[in-house]
Each structure stands twice: as structure tokens, then as C-alpha cells.
Structure 1
Amino acid sequence: MTGDLPGRPVGDGPPPEPRPPAIVGRGGRWRDQAVALGWLVVVWLLLWGDLSWGNLVGGLVVGAAVLIFFPLPPVTFGGRLRAGALLVLAVTFVRELVSASVHVAAIAVRPGYRPRGAVIAVPLRIRTDLNLALTAELISLVPGTLILDVDRDLGVLYVHVLEVLRPEDLTDSRNRVLTAERRIVRAIGSPEEVRQLGVEPDRRNST
């Protein structure tokens, strides 16, 4: 297996500096907690498979206990939803999902073939918890790539790539991760994040 040295992201320039701690106002914190509680209740109801007052109250109690005893880090959404960029994100994801599925299936049925994998470190340019989570999920959902670890302080994703035939494949894999990040930021990023990546959003589709 080939790959980068642990803790040493490969890229142009020096390693990224640790990001400053997120500052979340009291109002934003309560809003985020309410959203998290709502999602936990939804998951609880889906697990039980029955919408009833008992399950609803039980979900509220369990969700509140989870948030109290296992507090989540502050993740706030200060971006804008852009319909056109969201559509591009969805279409390109489906296209890459189908293409990667066919590629992995071809590897799986090839007799005696053992793909040479690699682990690469990809420093993201927008080092927020939300961007880290969304980019990691998007990459992991595509067959052939899997997030092994996340350095939250440095904003680095450690990605396992299934098949590496030549050194250029490592560069291509890094570029795919950064392209996914770019699409996410263009679709839901804040104006400051969009400017940071040098992406020009479609203002007509902003909501």
C-alpha cells in the first residue's frame, strides 16, 4: 500500500494551521440544539417504526439525555442555499456514483486481481465542522473511496483509495475530494466561504 505519512498532509505550501475555536452565540446554540433534538426524535421514531405519543415523548426524553450527557460540538449553518448549485451537486454525485459502482464491480469480478490501494491526506480549504462532515459523507458514499480519519483541528481528511495504478492517480483522487468540497461550498456555503474558494455563486438561485 502506498500513501502519505500520518499527520503530514501533502499539498502545496506548509501544512495548514489549526483553526481557531468556533464562537457560537447563545441564540444560535439553542437553535442548533433544537434542530439536533428534532433529528434525534425522527431517528427514534424511525427505529420504532410507529408514530405514537408514547414514542414521541420517549424520543424527546432520549434525545434530551443524549444532548445533555454527550454534548455535540457547535455546528452552525451560516450559508445560503443555491438551487442551481444544489442541482449540479446532486447530478454530478449520481453520475460519479454510477461510474464508481461500475468500476468497483469490474475490479471485484476480475479473477486474481488485487488492486493496489493508498491512503492520502487531503487538507480542505474550508475547515468548518459542517464542511468536513458533508465532504466526508459525500466522498464515503462513492464506491472506491472511504474516509478513514478526520483531523478536525487541521481540517484534513484521510481517504483510502481502492485502486492506484500510477502516481497521477493520487493527484486525481485529491482533486476529486477538493472538487466535491468546491461543489458543496458553492451549493450551501456562506458568501465568505465562496469568496475564499474563488467560486462565483449563481445569485439568481440564492435563497
Structure 2
Amino acid sequence: MTADVAPAPVPDQPSAVRRRLANVQLGVTLWLIVLWLVLWRDLTFPLVAGGLLVGAVVQLVFPLPPLRMHLRPRPVGLLVLVAVFLRDVVVASWQVTRIVLRPGPVTNAVVEIQLRTPSDFVLTIVGEMLTLIPGSVLIEARRASHTIYMHVLDVAAEDDVEEFRELALAQERRVLRAFGIDDSHLSLPPEQAQQAVRDRAAGEDVQGVVHGVHDEEDFG
């Protein structure tokens, strides 16, 4: 006589709705709210709620890859990021007005900036914030090397190129500090800095796996 064998329980599969909702990421949502407020140039509760709704819908319709960074928003860092950004917008608006009213030709340039942080999140924020500053527009972004190309108004000499490049890298530094991301790699050359971040992330992943194995052993 053969004993009946009960079928193994089938693990619950997440529904399509739950999989979609999992695409909504806190860091991306916060950034989209900030971008929404900057575009409206106002701060009200309805606008914040609208930015939250738009941010969630954008991520549901256009799923983004998960962030490979631990985001810990810092109030002081966020305040500095927004304050410096608003100052740059005001100063650049005045400079663009002066350039438009000034007689004679205007020399423009495409400036290449290789960021130190290999993160799509940082790449997007830096590129968008530089684009929102009058006189500069993002024309290309390369994920492979995390390089952005900005069209910049009134670039008369190589010193102007270096000045804008330093402005962009300072923006990257403020973004990292605003979101609590380790910025110890910024003093390194671009390629070495990106590799240092990847090595650090790989070490964190390995450490997480080891902790997971130990937890399973303790549970067993």
C-alpha cells in the first residue's frame, strides 16, 4: 500500500499590481517631487501632492531599474542643494539677459563632464539641474562612462570650459551629500573614482550575502 504524498505548497506569486507597485522607489519619487516644484516655481501642499502623484504614475508607466545606492536624505544637505541651485538660477538668468542685450557674436561650446559617481540616479539629477539653469542644456548622456555633454552659452576660452566643468562637479558633490551618499571617491580621477564606488558596492553585496547565510544558519 502506497502512502499518499501531499503536494509541495506552491509559493504565492506576486500579482501584476504588486509587481508594478514595487517599481515605485522612494529616492526617485522624492527627486521627481522636487523637480515638479522647481518647474512650477512654487511650494504649496496641492503642488506637493500633485508631484507625488505624477512621480508615482511615471514610475508605474515607465519602470526604472532599482537604485544601487543607499539613499539617506540629509535635511541640511538638501537645503544647501536647493539654495545653491536657486542662487545659480538667479545669477544665470541675469547673465543670459546681459548676453542677449550685448552687441556682437556669442561663442558657445559643448562641454564634456565625466562624473565621478557611476549612478544613473546621480547622472539624471546632475544633468536635469544643470539644464534647469539658464544658459546650459543637456544634449547627451552616456551611461557606460557616466558622462554628460552640455551645450553652454558664452564660452570664450578654455578657462570658461573648466569653470563650467567645476560647477557641474560641485553639483554632483552637493547631490551626494544631500542624499547621504558616500563622497569619499570624489578626490580621485573619474575612472578610478567610478571603480572605487563599484568595488565598495560589491563589498556591501558580499557582506549582505554573508549576513544572510549566517542568519539562515542561526535560524536552523
TM-score category of the 2 structures, normalised to the smaller one:
0.5 to 0.7
Which letter maps to 2:172?
A: E
Q: Does 1:173 align with 2:164?
A: yes
Query: How far off is 1:142 after superposition?
Result: 0.5
Corresponding residue of 2:23? 33
* Distance in 2 between residues matched to 1:76 and 1:156, nearest whole Å: 18
- Which whole-Å CA distance do the structure 2 matches of 1:66 and 1:148 have between them? 24
1:139 match? 130
- Does the aligned pair in 1 maintain the 2:112–2:148 contact within 8 Å? yes
Residues 34-92 of structure 1 show CA distances to partners (whole Å, capped at 9, x for unaligned) of 349x97xx99xxxxxxxxxxxxxxx9xx879834xxx4333355221111111111111
TM-score by structure 2 length?
Answer: 0.58
TM-score by length of 1: 0.61
1:5-84 equivalent positions in 2, closer than 5 A:
33-35=23-25, 66-67=61-62, 71-75=63-67, 78-84=70-76
Q: CA-to-partner distance for each residue in 1:17-50, whole Å, 9 max, x for gaps?
A: xxxxxxxxx9xx87651349x97xx99xxxxxxx
Deviation at 1:107, TM superposition (A): 1.0
Partner of 2:141: 150
Question: Aligned partners of 1:63 and 1:157: how far apart in 2?
Answer: 23
- The match for 1:97 is 89
- When the two chains are superposed, the root-mean-square deviation of aligned CA atoms in Å is 3.0
Aligned residue number for residue 197 of structure 1:
186
- The structure with more radius of gyration: 2
Task: Report the structure, 1 or 2, having the larger helix content.
Answer: 2
8 Å CA contact 1:32–1:76 kept in 2: the answer is: no
Aligned residues: 145
1:112-149 residue CA offsets vs partner (Å, 9 max, x unmatched): x2210010111000020100000001100101111100
What are structure 2's unaligned runs of at least 5 residues? 1-13, 37-53, 188-220
Q: CA–CA distance in 1 between the matches of 2:65 and 2:176?
A: 21
Q: Which residue of structure 2 aligns with residue 51 of structure 1?
A: none
| Kept after mapping to 1: 8 A contact 2:24/2:60 | no
Query: Structure 1 residue aligned with 2:115, among 117, 124, 149?
Result: 124
Match of 1:19 in 2: none
Matched, 1:161 2:152: yes
- Name the SS for the 2:110 alignment partner: strand
Cα contact 1:122–1:158 (8 A) shared by 2:
yes
Unaligned runs of 5+ in 1: 1-25, 44-58, 199-207
The code of the aligned residue for 1:142 comes to I
Contact 2:23 2:59 (C-alpha < 8 Å) held by counterparts = no
CA–CA distance in structure 2, aligned partners of residues 72 and 160 of structure 1:
26
Between the aligned residues of both structures, percent identity stands at: 33
Amino acid at match of 1:194: D
CA distance in 2, matches of 1:93, 1:64: 25
Counterparts of 2:143 and 2:23, CA distance in 1: 20
